């Protein structure tokens, strides 16, 4: 719980600064880019977050990475603060929380629609409109396919999952039949 509180506090602080200077979308993109790069970097990423390496070495490495990436001064200072406070290992969580808060600020919610077979644009548009009306927000919809669903669709809107797949219906039917025995 404490760790999530720390993540929320940092994300909210940077969002507040970004809203004040009008750069909150840029900051979100930069955080996401850096978090992805650090998680993909392997040993370098581990070195940056490991307290077993001297702080001076970790700081120099981070400064080199940030200088090459040419991030905004705000994000550069923010990430250096995370390093100084020992929270750089939570950068991915901070970036995800920041972007969720940023989306809420813009009145946007992200949703994922998974179908067993390809959907036409009209069906995708209808689902998107329904999810927008349901949530009261603009929906950014990602569409995916999973033949394992057999038929139907699964929509994920934030924490809400609407499962209309044939696979789930069959699982429920099997469970009901098991209870009869």
CATH of the domain at 28: 1.10.520.20
Whole-Å CA distances, 35 to 112, 115, 174: 22, 30, 43
Are 39 and 61 members of one domain? Answer: yes
Cβ atoms of residues 59 and 82 within 8 Å: no
pLDDT at res. 144: 96
Q: Are residues 12 and 71 in the same domain?
A: yes
Concatenating the DSSP letter of every residue in 158-173 gives TTEEEE--HHHHHHHH
| CATH number, domain with residue 130 | 3.40.30
Average pLDDT for the chain:
92
Would the pTM count as exceeding 0.85? no
| Domain encompassing residue 87 | 2-104
Q: pLDDT averaged over consecutive 10-residue blocks of the chain (181 residues)? A: 85 97 96 91 81 88 89 96 93 95 94 95 95 94 95 92 94 92 75
The answer to whether residues 158 and 93 belong to one domain is no
| Separation of alpha carbons 39 and 36, rounded Å | 5
Q: What pLDDT is stored for residue 1 in this prediction?
A: 47
b/e 41-63 (16+ beta carbons within 10 angstroms → b):
eeeebeebbeeeeeeeebeebbe
């Amino acid at each position: 719980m404490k760790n999530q509180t720390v993540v929320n506090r940092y994300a909210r602080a940077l969002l507040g600064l970004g809203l004040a200077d009008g750069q909150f979308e840029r900051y979100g993109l930069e955080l996401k880019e850096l978090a992805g790069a650090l998680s993909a970097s392997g040993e370098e990423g581990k070195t940056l977050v490991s307290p077993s390496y001297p702080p001076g070495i970790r700081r120099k490495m981070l400064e080199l990475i940030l200088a090459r990436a040419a991030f905004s001064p705000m994000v550069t200072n923010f990430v250096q603060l995370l390093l100084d406070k020992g929270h750089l290992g939570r950068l991915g969580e901070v970036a995800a929380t920041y972007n969720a808060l940023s989306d809420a600020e813009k009145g946007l919610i992200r949703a994922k629609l998974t179908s067993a077979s390809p959907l036409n644009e009209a069906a995708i548009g209808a689902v998107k409109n329904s999810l927008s009306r349901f949530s009261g927000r603009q929906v950014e919809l990602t569409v995916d396919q999973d033949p394992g669903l057999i038929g139907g669709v699964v929509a994920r809107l934030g924490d809400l999952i609407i499962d209309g797949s044939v696979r789930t219906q069959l699982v429920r039917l099997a469970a009901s039949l098991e209870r009869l025995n």
